[in-house]
Amino acid sequence: MTQLPTICFLTGTLNAFAGAERMTAVIANALAARGYRVLILSLWDQVCVFPLHPAVEHCALFA
């Protein structure tokens, strides 16, 4: 059986109501729902204004 790849998104923050942040959350959620391992690495904080799938791992470099 082939294992699905891990996908990592790099973003400045997910703590803004903006288009890039929203689409990062939408795409990450869709991939996680399909069984991919999804990581989101934010530079500035770990707060996300959009809901994330429970399997999505969200970390921040500078909390």
**pLDDT per residue as tens, the chain (63 positions):** 578 999 999 999 999 999 999 999 999 999 999 999 999 999 999 999 999 999 999 999 997
How many Å is the Cα radius of gyration of the chain? 11
The range of the structural domain enclosing residue 15 comes to 6-60
Report the alpha-carbon distance of residue 13 to residue 59 in Å, rounded. Answer: 10
Report the alpha-carbon distance of residue 55 to residue 35 in Å, rounded. Answer: 9
Report the alpha-carbon distance of residue 47 to residue 63 in Å, rounded. Answer: 9
Q: What is the pTM of this model?
A: 0.90
In this predicted structure, what is the pLDDT of residue 2? 79
Per the domain annotation, does 1 fall within a domain?
no
Per the domain annotation, does 43 fall within a domain?
yes
Per the domain annotation, does 36 fall within a domain?
yes
Per the domain annotation, does 47 fall within a domain?
yes
DSSP-derived letter for residue 3 is: P
Domains identified in the chain, total number: 1
